[in-house]
Copies of this chain bind each other. A is one copy, B any other.
Amino acid sequence: MDAISDEAGAKRARGLDRAFEILDFLRQKRQALKPNEIAAQIGAPRSSVYELVNLLLRNGILEFSGGEGRVYLGRKLYFLGAAYENHFDFTRECEAALDWLADETRETAQFCMLDGNKYTVVRMREGARPFRISTDIGQSVPIPWTASGRLLVAHMSDEEILAFIPPQDFRLPDGKWLDSAQFLAEVRRADADGFFTFNSIVDSFTHCFAVPVMGEEGHAAATLCLVAPRADGLANRERYLDCLKAAAARLGQAPTGAKRVLA
């Protein structure tokens, strides 16, 4: 499934990799599945999947859900995820930033990150527009399809970027292929400018704005984005960018392990 992992030769897969492949698959499907279905759809031996599923069930990583022996992601994952969220503590400030952005611009505001070699929307505020413009939260989207994508890979070299992004992800939703050289050029420009904007590739009526949120490694750990109707986006371009930059500046470069003890 992942372009990173298995190739051609029918090698044995490591249990851990298979396990996380199962978890990712369930997340992508967003529904409980029978072990059999999982095995068939990810192309793994049934016996292996059954064994792994049982193991994960015992650990609380998976849970029975939906009856008929179907399984889905388990409570333990929720706890682990909550611990992550708590540790890096971007959530609260993130929500505040999105609220402020949505309030200030009336457009859809998003907080986005990389999930492996895909782009994903982590949090979102719907704008006050009469029509909804939204990618679903948690869905994996090819990096080249998004404005944020340019910023999220900007710390890599050209070679690293091309090795990182699956080649098929340069195929746009309309079937056309995005030239990788053009993409790389846009990455470099975005990095130099500190933002990236374009008419959305995914639809034909929105303009997207993205600015980086700097993490502790000194590069973009996430992005803040606005998705606006095209005319509107072009008309308010400077103001929107200023809003985004202000919000990102407040969010970024948080003190590393900052633990706040509340009184």
**A residues adjacent to B (C-beta < 8 A):** 4, 14-17, 19-20, 23-24, 26-27, 30-32, 52, 55-56, 58-61, 65-67, 72-88, 113-116, 120, 122, 137-138, 216, 256-257
Contacts and interface: CB of A to CB of B under 8 A. Distances in A.
A78 B73 contact: no
Given A26-B83, A78-B85, 19 more contacts: A16-B52, A16-B56, A23-B80, A24-B80, A30-B86, A60-B116, A65-B88, A66-B256, A72-B84, A73-B83, A75-B115, A76-B116, A77-B77, A77-B80, A81-B81, A81-B82, A81-B85, A82-B137, A86-B138
Given A19-B16, A73-B84, A87-B73, A27 B79 contact: yes
Given A16-B16, A17-B59, A31-B257, A83 B113 contact: no
B84 A77 contact: yes
A66 B98 CA distance: 27
Contacts of A72: 84, 87
A60 B115 contact: yes
A14 B51 CA distance: 12
Nearest to A56: B16
B80 A27 contact: yes
Contact of A84 (B17, B81, B84): B81
A189 B15 CA distance: 44
A56 B15 CA distance: 12
Nearest to A116: B60
Contacts of A84: 72-75, 77-78, 81
Contacts of A78: 81, 84-85
A220 B26 CA distance: 25
A199 to B, nearest CB: 26
